[in-house]
Structure 1
Amino acid sequence: MRPDDGERANLRALRNLPIGAALPGLRDALEEHGAAVLHAPPGTGKTTCVPLALAGLLDDGAPPRRVLVAEPRRMAARSAARRMAWLLGERTGGSVGFTVRGERSAGARTRVEVVTTGVLLQRLQRDPELPGVDVVLIDECHERHLDADTAVAFLLDVREALRPGLRLVAASATQDAEAWARLLGGTVVRGHGVSHPVEVRHAPAPAGVRPAHGTRVDPALLRHVAATVREALRAVPEGDVLCFLPGVGEIARVAGLLDGVGAEVLQLHGRAPSRVQDEVLGGGSGAGRRVILSTAVAESSLTVPGVRVVVDSGLARQPRVDHARGLGALTTVRVSRAGAAQRAGRAGREAPGVALRCWAEADDAGRPAEPAPEITLADLTSFALQAAHWGEPWAQGLALLDPPPEGAMHAARRTLHAVGALDEAGRMTSRGARMARLGLHPRLARALLDGAARVGPERAAEAVALLSEEPPREYGDDAVEALRRARRGGDPYGRRWAAERRRLRALLDDEERAGAHGRGRAERSGEAGGAGNGRAGGAPAAGGTDEEAVGLVVALAHPERVARAQGGDAYLMAGGTRARTAGESRLREAAWLAVAVADRPVGSASARVRLAAVVDEETARTAAGELYTESEEVRWGPEQGAGGDVVARRVAALGAVPLSVRPLEAPSPELLREAALEGLRREGTGLLRWPGQARGLRQRMAFLHRVLGDPWPDVSDAALLECADAWLGAVRSRADLGRIDAGEVLSGLLPWASGEAARLAELAPERIEVPSGSRIAVDYTSEQPVLAVKLQEMFGAQESPRLADGRVPVLVHLLSPAGRPAAVTADLASFWREGYRSVRAELRGRYPKHPWPEDPAAAEPTRHTKARQERGRDRA
């Protein structure tokens, strides 16, 4: 078959793909609305056939157009472009090309260019009109990557304001197509695939496997996954096995467990070398079976040839950000039902297949229906910079399926202000525009620009390349040693680092040329000064050691993570987060660190330092200058002891890290009083002096407030503290509070104005005179006042005493001659009639010297024994 015959055969095969039936409807929808959502199952040709058809490259009479295809991942972009070029009998760079970060293969003849969504955003920011582009296709929009959501919002703005003729297609493989159609103002065009059947089987892990938390996955689950792969190779005698795992670490561990499996084991992930990616996506040599261990990169966009079995661990990784601590990390989550369906579908791309799920069937219902949109989870600093550069600082006018969380946006804008990308009013600065043009995370852009000015462009590019992708754990936690190891190369990370260093160096050169051009233009127009090149610290300097360069660049990227030693392995970051180094780390002797990577283990109060560089205080203050403050503090604090006291001091600090503390001379008496009041409210009224008389008065007042209400005040702790400002005098310290007599405070709260205060002794007396003549103290600590009195002293009393204008009877505790409780009553008359006899029978033999008359209601009350009572009568 001649080459042109092969091309024609490929084109005929393309037109016969299942998606071919949807192409007329898609063209009509674009002509009528200018936008459409293409919904079709995986494997129908969305990624390869549709762009070629829209570009007029299928030899079917369609007009020629230039199509831009946006993919969420670099691997998918390269693979899609190579596949389309192969179908046309070409190499990439001709009719079909691609552009990803650090790599471009496209030219003047290119009609279909595949880019990552990040590259698309950069192009939109440089020239929103996208000159020469007729159609933009956003592939795999259902994955809800933040860059894709942002690109769609920008493109809708472009269609509305600049280029209404620009056509927009969103391609989705799941059931959220209607929501996308409403957003785009288009219609849904459905493609129906002729998919091969996939038998879904469940292979649940054994009991006792612990759920994943953070990035930790139970090794028992990984052993089960490896065993399931072995069983799949045995049970399904033909085809390759595609196994989904959450991350690169789990892939490596399962690969080790599959040693000697009798098949070629390949590892597919975003960091895998291009050679391995090409080998996996090219289908291999066909000499034997393959086991492909993959992250979520193989869920969609990519077709992995030869796969007949999918083994799904059921786990995925999602970003999480602790905005309060400024820490971001990936966390392991259960894959959604939509994601699990996507994974299973990989087994049926070319022939009937089998999907083995490593969880119980009953667990399906508890999984989320769709993956969470990245905009609701991720660090939004880059998004906020993109939005500000686009002219939407708060993103409120952007057409987004899900709005950004308010707290995350506030955190992002604080970061952008700290790195100089936004001014005090929240507007984009010229420096922010430069950072946006670089296409880096704003932190890295700031580190690259300012670092180049201080340590030279080469060293800055090296250090920022190290921050762009976290080094492997075996590189250690010392960023300087990690840089030196990356320089030596010899491993995949070292090669990726070197490529990124070259790219960053080129970006700096481009910025320098752009800056020189801008300065020259300003000089020719007579403008003075201006923003210059936006660099901090004057002219570039190439000197300094690795330690100085890496430390400064890390601190510039993460100023809130410069950290001061607190003793042992503990550090306090400028952002207020406490952190610890590993026990064996060489970093732990440093007085200051610039922390590049940290995470917070589940259940831990402190972050864990993963990668950091040693810095000195001068470097920390240089990099985190926006966080430097000098303040006078007059407050209640723990510095003077565990109990707290008024603290008056002048503090110089770098964020939460104090640099110097000096006593404050002659602080304002009013501020001292406010601080003491703060301490009183924090620690309670126990700071006052409470003699016994004060405690008794408080109980009596509380009783009257409870029974009578106004005008008797509430004297609970909460009420006293609420009105403390009214009764607290001039105090300066804890000692002053301790000298305040709480009784005097309470006396001042009595209802003097109404005259009721004069009735306190009448309504709630301290003591009550009983029939014997004794004055007995009343206990107000209980809900009902209690009078504890010896039984003989109440002889002759016909009823219990009553308080509060007779509203409340006193609960009388009648005591034995030894002072022990004999009976409790609030109705003495009833007790004399019904209860006294049993008490008399029980106690008269035990206390024969005391009177036990048969009729206590008519008997003479006494405090004494019978003998003393008789002697008293005789004397009388």
Structure 2
Amino acid sequence: MIREDVLGALPVRTALPALEAALDGPGCAVLCAPPGTGKTTLVPLVLAGLVPVPGGAAGGPRRRVVVAEPRRIAARAAARRMAWLLGERVGGSVGFTVRGERVVGRDTVVEVVTTGVLLQRLQRDQELEGVDVVIIDECHERHLDADTVAAFLLDVRATLRPELRLVAASATTDAEGWARLLGNAPVVEARGVTHPLEVVWAPPARPVRPPHGMRVDPALLTHVVSVVRRALAERAGDVLVFLPGVGEIGRVAGQLGDRDGLGAEVLQVHGRAPAQVQDAVLAGSGDGDRRVVLATSVAESSLTVPGVRVVVDSGLAREPRTDHARGLSALTTVRASQATARQRAGRAGREAPGAVYRCWDEAEDARLARFPAPEIKVADLAAFALQAACWGDPDASGLALLDAPPAGALAAARAVLAAIGAVDAEGRVTDRGVRMSRLGVHPRLARALLDGAREVGARRAAEVVALLSEEPPRGYGDDLAAAWRTAGRGGDGYAARWRQEARRLASAGGRGGEADGDGRRRGYGDGEANGPADDAVVGVVAAYAFPERVARARGGGAFLMASGTGAELADGSGLRSAPWLAVAVADRPPTAASARVRLAAVIDEDTARNAAAHLLVSGEEVRWEDGDVVARQVRRLGAIELSARPLRGPDRALVRAALLEGLRREGPGALLHWTRDSEALRERLGFLHRALGSPWPDVSDAALLDGADDWLEPELSKARRRADLARIEAGQALRRLLPWSSGQAGRLDELAPERLQVPSGSRVRVDYGGEQPVLAVKLQELFGMTETPKVAGVPVLVHLLSPAGRPAAVTADLASFWREGYRAVRAELRGRYPRHPWPEDPTQAIATRRLKDRR
């Protein structure tokens, strides 16, 4: 029996006429409805014609509706809630499909699916035959699958099925952006029941360290625990606590203690929690006892946790980040956005007045990002690139996306697909790529499943890929083979999910047509996991999944991956003595030189070569190394050097390039033969370039390296090693740069003379090494000179020396010095040097290099 009383109380009912009108007109709409309004449950039932608009006319025409949710827990919960509203069981009028589980019947007209399942369905059936309406729920979260589904559906509407209706729904979203994307679709807003929601700002008393990678300051978690206890004391109802990840949930649960001490039952909700635990949380407390529900972002959207009146928000979230240069992907902890904070707070006011305790300062709130970072901007795009290629748009240029994929990230993704044979040289999907796309795992893992099945058998390959598709709990350790055995023996929630996924993958991999199923090709046993064969099997599959991460030992628990990134094992790891590893999970903190290995398998060199065959290269390597040219015949697996031998008669062009690299690293001044005269010539040319510009050459290190062809040939082409460079006379080579063609070369000594004659008759060397030419001369030799000497029109900087050759004064204006500075110098030095002349008027005295005549 339909629960009309509940349906009639859902606030979204007021927006349904406008939504129906939008779908009957343009065929697209953006639905904005606050949490708890019935957006996820009532709207699909009305659009399917299963229930009338509450308080309105009889139900509309029967339509088949597909609702796409971002997470499995939300898809199952939404289907169960709608079935309950209809007074039915799931699988009747309402069903759901998530990866590995499908509950639908022949009478099902509303099907709730994950966005990943809908992507697969669209690739198999672009027209979505029989589907009338698609609702993309929680589109504000900007998951990559949801963005891709929206783009594909808009393509379908534009080319195949203009009558297909499309709704983008969310509680907090960029409504204008989605409306533009959907062709200026109408925005339909529903007002929620205005249950009062009090915001309590509860920052830590002392500053805590900001999140760093996956690390969260333990002081913040301790503070969250204290806020939970405060909320239990100050408020009635259940408490929903938002934390960034499973690890933080476990630590907070441990600090909260047992039920008796806390006065409430502590429950944990996250993507890895068993389905029965998730269901128990969503069912509410039957006995009226209070509950504290510790949750990740899975509890933000699409479902109501009954009894919750209080939210405690840690203010943190997890987002994917990818280091495309090193091939490392990981989750990182970030500050939650303003939209996320509003979404979380809304959980407290769904059923009655509530409160949200925010573990940060009110002033800090305004500095938060408005929306979460779109996943397309920060994530590994290999799966997206494969979906786009299967759709027939390899570069995604024709897809309607709110944010375009970053060019560098998309290029890196397409390179991965080419390496595993999923796309051809032009980026078009191959038959193998189509098979990979239908396996429901990342393309790397699809490659491991298909190729690994040939090597070790379909079942064993599937079991290892299932381990890699959902990282085992940290308690399983860092040895992938040991984790495989633990999962096989285990009775925990992870082991149950692993077995279910392994069965699915074994079936899907077998249908891929590439598995022989016996695992005998390379001697991995008879298909049973026994002893050392486990390590070999796991290593093969992990290496196929992550060929750029095959790594050879450097010693002391350090390894070098084929990608060129260093990797280190934790102290005490049983893998430290392995000669080779296939690294399955690693992360690299922003300030660390090496990645930290979280999960890996022991392999041998043959396995590494086989899995990473596309990285195997052999050839001549001539480079500048340890201060000289090194020429070798080298065989490499990516950055890992497998073998090397000296190379006789290396290619001259390669040697020349190596010598230039040496000049770049150490500088021409360090490697060529520079006499005092050649250094002086370089300084004179540098001065003329600064003072007069062209045609006088730039002789800086960078310019000399860029113009090596103009001044170092033919000596450079004849050189073979460092010693040959040291024999090149730099001054003679530099003279090739003089402006001979313009006739200016002959003016070098006129414009920048090596020496200047002073009144005493001496010819004094000019130092051109600084910004201004310097003439260092004894003061007595300039008597009678009233104008400062110039070179190329630039006054020299005169360093006036004492009779002992020590600096006495510096001036760029001799006339001013004689008037204002000479007296002080004369008074200081005449007593120290009485045998030298110190006339009262130096402008009228005769310059001299000699002492005064003895009387």
TM-score if structure 2 supplies the norm length?
A: 0.93
Q: What is the one-letter code of the residue matched to 1:821?
A: P
Q: Is the 8 A contact 1:195 1:349 kept in 2?
A: no
Match of residue 820 from structure 1: 806
Q: What is the one-letter code of the residue matched to 2:804?
A: A
Match of residue 130 from structure 1: 128
Q: Is the 8 A contact 2:582 2:601 kept in 1?
A: yes
Q: What is the one-letter code of the residue matched to 2:663?
A: L
Match of residue 200 from structure 2: 201
Q: CA deviation at 1:833?
A: 6.6
Name which of 47, 69, 72 aligns with 2:67: 69
Name which of 705, 717, 728 aligns with 1:721: 705
Q: Is the 8 A contact 1:800 1:810 kept in 2?
A: no
Match of residue 284 from structure 2: 283
Q: CA deviation at 1:677?
A: 2.4
In structure 2, the CA distance between the partners of 1:863 and 1:622, relative to structure 1 (3 Å rule), is same
Residue 789 of structure 2 is aligned to residue 802 of structure 1: yes
Match of residue 684 from structure 1: 667
Match of residue 347 from structure 1: 348
Q: CA deviation at 1:855?
A: 6.1
Q: Map 1:49-88 to 2 at 5 A.
A: 49-58=42-51, 60-88=58-86
Deviates more, 1:730-739 or 1:701-710: 701-710
Q: CA deviation at 1:217?
A: 1.1
The structure having more radius of gyration, on CA atoms, is: 1
Q: CA deviation at 1:267?
A: 0.5
In structure 2, the CA distance between the partners of 1:737 and 1:26, relative to structure 1 (3 Å rule), is same
Q: What is the one-letter code of the residue matched to 1:27?
A: E
Distance 1:121 1:835 in 2: 86
In structure 2, the CA distance between the partners of 1:860 and 1:620, relative to structure 1 (3 Å rule), is same
Distance 1:813 1:65 in 2: 96
After superposition, the C-alpha distances for 1:610-664 in whole angstroms (9 at most, x for unaligned) are 00001111000110111111222233x22xx2xx322322221111212122222
Secondary structure at the counterpart of residue 320 of structure 2? strand
Q: CA deviation at 1:714?
A: 3.2
In structure 2, the CA distance between the partners of 1:719 and 1:378, relative to structure 1 (3 Å rule), is closer
After superposition, the C-alpha distances for 1:830-876 in whole angstroms (9 at most, x for unaligned) are 76676655555544443334445566556555444445x78xxxxxx
Name which of 650, 655, 662 aligns with 2:638: 655
Q: Is the 8 A contact 1:704 1:804 kept in 2?
A: no
Q: CA deviation at 1:539?
A: 12
Distance 1:373 1:239 in 2: 34
Deviates more, 1:407-416 or 1:717-726: 717-726
Name which of 557, 569, 577 aligns with 1:589: 577
In structure 2, the CA distance between the partners of 1:649 and 1:95, relative to structure 1 (3 Å rule), is same
Residue 395 of structure 2 is aligned to residue 385 of structure 1: no
Match of residue 249 from structure 2: 251
Q: Is the 8 A contact 1:764 1:803 kept in 2?
A: no
Secondary structure at the counterpart of residue 108 of structure 1? coil
Name which of 651, 657, 668 aligns with 2:651: 668
Match of residue 46 from structure 1: 39
Structure 1, gaps ≥5 residues long? 1-6, 517-531, 871-876
Residue 27 of structure 2 is aligned to residue 34 of structure 1: yes
Match of residue 11 from structure 1: 4
Q: What is the one-letter code of the residue matched to 2:551?
A: A
Q: Is the 8 A contact 2:620 2:650 kept in 1?
A: no
Match of residue 366 from structure 1: 367
Secondary structure at the counterpart of residue 163 of structure 1? coil
Secondary structure at the counterpart of residue 847 of structure 1? coil
Q: Map 1:756-835 to 2 at 5 A.
A: 756-795=744-783, 797-799=784-786, 802-804=789-791, 807-824=793-810
After superposition, the C-alpha distances for 1:177-216 in whole angstroms (9 at most, x for unaligned) are 3332332233222222224111111111122211112111
Q: What is the one-letter code of the residue matched to 1:235?
A: E
Q: Map 1:290-329 to 2 at 5 A.
A: 290-329=291-330
How many pairs are equivalent?
A: 836
Q: Is the 8 A contact 2:240 2:294 kept in 1?
A: yes
Q: Is the 8 A contact 1:241 1:292 kept in 2?
A: yes
In structure 2, the CA distance between the partners of 1:689 and 1:197, relative to structure 1 (3 Å rule), is same
In structure 2, the CA distance between the partners of 1:116 and 1:791, relative to structure 1 (3 Å rule), is closer
Match of residue 738 from structure 1: 726
Q: CA deviation at 1:706?
A: 3.8
In structure 2, the CA distance between the partners of 1:239 and 1:648, relative to structure 1 (3 Å rule), is same
- State, as a whole percentage, how many aligned pairs show the same letter: 67
Q: What is the one-letter code of the residue matched to 1:64?
A: R
Q: What is the one-letter code of the residue matched to 2:46?
A: A
Name which of 559, 579, 582 aligns with 1:571: 559
In structure 2, the CA distance between the partners of 1:583 and 1:772, relative to structure 1 (3 Å rule), is same
After superposition, the C-alpha distances for 1:105-139 in whole angstroms (9 at most, x for unaligned) are 11112121111111111111111222222222221
Match of residue 120 from structure 1: 118
Distance 1:204 1:831 in 2: 67
Q: What is the one-letter code of the residue matched to 1:288?
A: D
Secondary structure at the counterpart of residue 504 of structure 1? helix
Q: Map 1:480-495 to 2 at 5 A.
A: 480-495=481-496
Q: What is the one-letter code of the residue matched to 2:507?
A: A
Name which of 118, 142, 145 aligns with 1:144: 142
Deviates more, 1:351-360 or 1:23-32: 23-32
Secondary structure at the counterpart of residue 304 of structure 2? coil
Deviates more, 1:501-510 or 1:452-461: 501-510
Q: Is the 8 A contact 1:325 1:577 kept in 2?
A: yes
In structure 2, the CA distance between the partners of 1:493 and 1:817, relative to structure 1 (3 Å rule), is same
Q: What is the one-letter code of the residue matched to 1:387?
A: A
Q: Is the 8 A contact 1:417 1:423 kept in 2?
A: yes
Secondary structure at the counterpart of residue 587 of structure 1? coil
Q: Map 1:844-863 to 2 at 5 A.
A: 844-852=830-838, 861-863=847-849
Distance 1:188 1:811 in 2: 75
Distance 2:363 2:791 in 1: 67
After superposition, the C-alpha distances for 1:561-605 in whole angstroms (9 at most, x for unaligned) are 111122322211111211111122121211211000000123112
Structure 2, gaps ≥5 residues long? 53-57
Secondary structure at the counterpart of residue 217 of structure 1? coil
Match of residue 55 from structure 2: none
